[in-house]
Amino acid sequence: MLEAIAREPLDRSGDPLHEQLRRRVADAIGADALAPGTPLPTEQELQDAFGVSRSVVRQALAALAAAGSIERRRGRGSVVASRRTLHRSADRAGGLLQHVEAQGASLRTRVLSLAPRTVAGAVATELGVADAWALSRVRSIDDAPVVVGETLFSRARFPHPTVEALTDASLLDWMRQQGADPVGGPRRLRAAPADAEVAALLGVSTGAPLLLLEGVTEDASGAVLERFSLWHAPDTVFDVDARVRAGSRDEALADIRAQLAALQGAVARLDA
């Protein structure tokens, strides 16, 4: 087991040692070298293998536990956490809370930041305003992080959001409470590499291929309520209900296959 983590020494002149150790374990978990339920080496074994202090090991393990990558059990050490696969409908608008509850799971929402932001260019044109709120969140199923998201929405239309109101809550439900009527809007799904910040929050390695869902939600009049970017954990499954119109079956199937092939190719290139 140590071989999957301690393949080479830590870089003493690079990033903080606890962050390097966290990435080593996260990489091994992401590459399936450490399966769910696998016991991790003890703190002493990690200290000896990497020549680091106990505080370094404990910081790394604490970060992995906070990200939901491992479970720490008093008196029994740490084990690799199991992950519940998130299923989302790619062709149906709606909050993540409703999707998860329909699967019989529990969704937690942690607000990372909520702050005013001035936007410009195409983003301002899309939102219809320059003064926006920028909301960053991490969302977890049964305590395992599955989505990191950033959402922009109008300060004029929604002047009083709070961290408390949006913790463990649906933003679209909150908007409805403010008198809005979200009905959906265009979305785009593509493969994207995890940057260091998103990787740490999802408990995956930097550069790991994620599924990025981008789009806007409009109200019944066509006004944009929110603009969002959602980075999904690599094991997320997007379900598509594809219905073929009479007389165009072959064309529709070819189009669906082409889209799936393009997405699979993008993921493969990121994972190479």
Pairwise CA distance, residues 233 & 230, whole Å: 10
Which of the listed CATH numbers 3.40.50.11540, 3.30.70.270, 3.10.620.30, 1.10.10.10 matches domain 2-80?
1.10.10.10
Pairwise CA distance, residues 57 & 46, whole Å: 7
Domain ranges of the chain: 2-80, 87-241
Percent of residues, the chain, with pLDDT higher than 70: 78
22 Rama class: left (phi>0) / alpha (psi -120 to 50) / beta? alpha
Average pLDDT across each block of 10 residues of the chain; the chain has 272 residues. List them in order: 79 89 83 79 92 93 79 79 65 64 73 98 94 96 87 97 96 95 91 93 89 93 95 78 58 68 70 63
pLDDT tens, 62-91?
888 876 678 877 777 888 876 655 666 665
Q: Cβ(117)–Cβ(107) under 8 Å?
A: no
Residue 226, Cβ neighbours under 10 Å: how many?
Answer: 23
Tokens of 181: 């009527």
The CATH number given to 87-241 is: 3.40.1410.10
CA atoms within 13 A on the CB side of 34: 27
Mutual angle of helices 54-66 and 43-50, in 10-degree steps? 120
